[in-house]
Amino acid sequence: MSLIEIDHLSKSYGAHQVIKDVSLSVEAGEVLAVIGRSGSGKSTLLRCLNGLEQINGGALRIDGRAVTYDKRALRQLRKRVAMVFQSYNLFPHMSAQDNVALAPRIVGKLERKASLDIAHEMLGRVGLSDKHDAYPRDLSGGQQQRVAIARALAVRPEILLLDEVTAALDPELVGEVLKVLGDLASEGLTMVLVTHEIAFARKAASRVAFMHEGRVHEIGPAQDVIGNPQTPELQRFLASVIA
Amino acid sequence: MHFEAVWAGLPLLLSGALKTILYAVAGYAAGLAFAMLLIVGRLAYGSAISRPTAVFVEIVRNTPFLVQAFFLYFGLAKLGFSMSPVVAAVIIVTFNSLAYTVEILRSGLMGVPRGLIEAGESMSFSALQMFRYVIARPMLRATLPALSGQFIIIMLNTSLLSAIAIPELTYEASNLASSSFRPFEVYVAIALIYFTISAAFAGMFALLTRAVTGDWAKVDLARRGIL
Ligand SMILES: Nc1ncnc2c1ncn2[C@@H]1O[C@H](COP(=O)(O)OP(=O)(O)O)[C@@H](O)[C@H]1O
Ligand SMILES: [Mg+2]
């Protein structure tokens, strides 16, 4: 049994079918990179995985348990499957440590002190031990995104979903975030990451899925999918992002 | 000019002014509190809350304050729902505050970045937690100037409560004006009093606005448990 099982999944917004019969699975400790053109359904797929979007067809199982949408089940799901967004989405009125400590405190029901201990641990993991009291607007984009990663890690999830987390960053800040992701990967955290950083996907991901018009068009070991694309769609896509 | 009548009646005017402030503050605070509850309800239950709210808002905002007061106090009495003027007054001020502030808060809610709400959602915050930790401060920050202006309007509108015999500032003034035969002096005096009340509250709201919009790091109201 795989940690994530996506089984003939479909998702529509109104009449517009965005995910079409997608099946794939992710093993514990694996890093799956999802690549593809804008609009191909990558974000929607991720959002389905932590219940931000409800699926219309097929099934979704995390650790063997089907995803359902009552409040308690969603709460359980999101404790195991955390999400990081392209635009960081840090709470602007809270310091870095309060951003990270918030979910452990109000969802995990920890004491303030215990939640801050977790925040400090997680900020340490992303290399921001010196920024506990800094507010988001005083941090660079790369630092903000690392705080956002720490915030997602604070509930000790088994799976981390990352949606183009470096896409909004200035080029010189991309490296520090990718380094954190590389570290997490080597620690064995299961990750599904949507990215346009093809070189990083090739290096850090165990497998790569190429999405095209709502379907998984190619999937396989990173080296193969990126190094030896089979379909003209993927060849064109790779040519366009690498050029 | 003969302001002796005003001086003689000043205690009465000031007690009326105090009532004006009481009705305005109590009604506005209650209306604003209900408005916040409705915002939380909207977050939790969506259109099941927002639709009826919209109907209520349209009714209150598209009928005159004075007509509402007459309807509640005289009209409903005919149907057997009689209430004291005080109760009618509190209901009117609260309903008006609610209808206008919920619209202001709604526009403030629209201004809270969608991504912040999604971040809270992805961490399973409840509607109440979402309001308290994610939305309240950006929303208040954006809407305090409008909420301040709305308070002044509501406070000034309480002068219409004199029509249902609430002994607030305008009611006391019109009594004094007719008993003293000095309407000019009396109405100049209460205009000044209304102006002073408005200015005082506008100043207080400005301070509050600065506290909430100022440096997040320096003025952390949330950490001190105020918001
Ligand atoms: N909330 C939504 N409502 C309607 N359509 C949406 C919504 N979110 C995404 N879509 C549409 O679904 C398609 C896939 O979007 P998305 O998953 O964001 O793609 P990607 O992340 O690969 O760019 C797009 O055509 C987009 O316009
Ligand atoms: Mg996307």
3-class state of residue A68 by DSSP = coil
CB contact under 8 A, B115 and A85: yes
Tell me the mean pLDDT in the region A178-200.
93
The helix or strand, by DSSP H or E, that contains position A18, with its residue range, turns out to be strand A16-26
From the list B122, B123, B222, the residue facing A93 with the nearest CB is B222
- Ligand that lies nearest to the alpha carbon of residue A47, given by its number in the listed order: 1
Q: How confident is the model at residue A156 (pLDDT cuts 50, 70, 90)?
A: very high
What pLDDT does B214 receive?
65
Ligand 2 centroid – CA A168 distance (Å):
12
The helix or strand, by DSSP H or E, that contains position A171, with its residue range, turns out to be helix A171-186
80-139 in chain B: CB under 8 A from chain A: 113, 115-116, 118-119, 121-125, 129, 133-134, 137-138
What pLDDT does A96 receive?
97
Q: Which residue has the higher pLDDT, A243 or B108?
A: B108
Q: Look at phi and psi of residue B225 and say left if phi exceeds 0, alpha if psi is from -120 to 50, else beta.
A: left
Tell me the mean pLDDT in the region A36-43.
96
Residues, chain B? 227
Q: How confident is the model at residue A36 (pLDDT cuts 50, 70, 90)?
A: very high
Q: What number of C-beta contacts closer than 8 Å exist between A and B?
A: 62
What pLDDT does B3 receive?
82
On chain A, the residues whose CB falls within 8 A of the CB of B217 are 95, 133, 135, 138
What is the edge-to-edge ordering of all strands in the sheet holding A57-62?
A16-26, A4-13, A57-62, A65-66
How distant is the Cα of B120 from the closest Cα of chain A, in angstroms? 9
CB contact under 8 A, B138 and A93: yes
CA distance A105 to A113: 9
C-beta neighbour count of B50 within 10 angstroms: 16
Note the pLDDT tens digit of each residue in B146-179: 999 999 999 999 999 999 999 999 999 999 999 9
How distant is the Cα of B151 from the closest Cα of chain A, in angstroms? 26
The pTM of this model reads 0.87
* Domain range annotation of chain B: 4-213
Torsion (CA) B142, B148, B154, B155 in degrees, nearest 10: 170
Protein residue closest via CA to atom 25 of ligand 1? A39
Q: Where are the alpha helices (DSSP H) in chain B?
A: 4-45, 47-61, 65-70, 76-78, 85-111, 114-122, 127-129, 136-157, 169-180, 183-213
CA distance A217 to A210: 6
Interface of A with B (CB under 8 A): 50, 52, 74-75, 78-79, 82-83, 85, 87-95, 98, 102-103, 106-107, 133, 135, 137-138, 148, 151, 155
Q: Which residues pair with A10 in a beta bridge?
A: A57
Tell me the mean pLDDT in the region A121-145.
95
3-class state of residue A166 by DSSP = coil
From the list A93, A95, A107, the residue facing B124 with the nearest CB is A107
CA distance A131 to A150: 12
How distant is the Cα of A186 from the closest Cα of chain B, in angstroms? 25
* A165, A89 Cβ separation under 8 angstroms: no
Query: Chain-centre distance of CA A187, in angstroms?
Result: 16
Within 6 A (CB) of ligand 1 lie: A 13, 16, 18, 36, 38-44
Closest by CA to B217, choosing from A217, A54, A80, A132, is A132
Domains of chain A, start order: 4-90+157-242 (3.40.50.300)
Phi, psi (degrees; rounded to nearest 5) at A9: -80, 135
What pLDDT does A243 receive?
63
> What class, spelled out in words, does domain B4-213 have in CATH?
mainly alpha
On chain A, the residues whose CB falls within 8 A of the CB of B137 are 93
What pLDDT does A113 receive?
96
Best probe of the B interface among A53, A68, A89, A110, by most B CBs < 10 A, is: A89
3-class state of residue A212 by DSSP = strand
What pLDDT does B4 receive?
84
Closest by CA to B115, choosing from B99, B88, B132, B134, is B134
What pLDDT does B209 receive?
85
Mean pLDDT (chain A) is 94
Listed as ranges, residues in chain B with pLDDT below 50 are 216-227
